[in-house]
């Protein structure tokens, strides 16, 4: 495993380990070791190297938002009146808990955000009372996601 122009080189064993963990991050290391045919210590060592290379960025539990009553996912394109207001707008967007992602984009919008709300009425409140009140936001364009059809990571 080499770091070459910010690209990490991984071998076949690294790929097997990563595939197992991407399938189930809670899979016991010894079970993976038996499956691959190397020691648990070797897997721990490889995982430490993958983490220090920056390829692995932690692990997390995924919460199902629908169980908590959040069923409206939307993408909102934000038009700023001036590009220089971007940092200030992003700082204010960070304060809105419904905003899950924020991207600086090319194209028509200055910013594209992903928001999660309980329902359409909640979305309207977030839009009208929070997002559109941010200084520098001239207008927004909202796209409601009806169904997420693909959810995956890059293939290893």
pLDDT at residue 122, as a whole number: 98
Set out the domains of the chain in order of their start, with CATH numbers.
3-53 (1.10.10.10), 65-145 (3.30.70.920)
- Residues 41-75 pLDDT 10s: 999 999 999 999 999 988 888 899 999 999 999 99
Give pTM, 2 decimals: 0.84
- Output the pLDDT for position 27: 94
Per-residue pLDDT of the chain (156 residues; tens, 9 = 90+): 444 446 889 999 999 999 999 999 999 999 999 999 999 999 999 999 999 999 998 888 889 999 999 999 999 999 999 989 999 999 999 999 999 999 999 999 999 999 999 999 999 999 999 999 999 999 999 999 999 999 988 988
d(CA 43, CA 36): 10
Amino acid 3: pLDDT: 45
């Amino acid at each position: 495993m080499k770091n070459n122009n910010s690209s990490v080189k991984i071998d076949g064993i690294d790929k097997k380990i990563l595939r197992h963990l991407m399938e189930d991050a809670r899979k016991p290391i010894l079970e993976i070791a038996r499956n691959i045919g190397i020691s648990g210590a070797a897997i721990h060592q490889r995982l430490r190297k993958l983490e220090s290379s920056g390829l692995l960025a932690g692990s997390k539990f995924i919460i199902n938002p629908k169980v908590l009553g959040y069923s409206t996912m939307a993408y909102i394109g934000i038009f700023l009146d001036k590009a220089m207001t971007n940092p200030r707008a992003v700082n204010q967007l960070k304060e809105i808990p419904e905003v899950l992602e924020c991207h600086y984009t090319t194209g028509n919008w200055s910013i594209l955000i992903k928001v999660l709300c309980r329902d359409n009425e909640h979305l309207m409140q977030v839009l009208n009372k929070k997002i559109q009140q941010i200084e520098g936001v001239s207008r927004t364009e909202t796209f409601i996601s009806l169904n997420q059809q693909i959810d995956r990571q890059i293939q290893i």
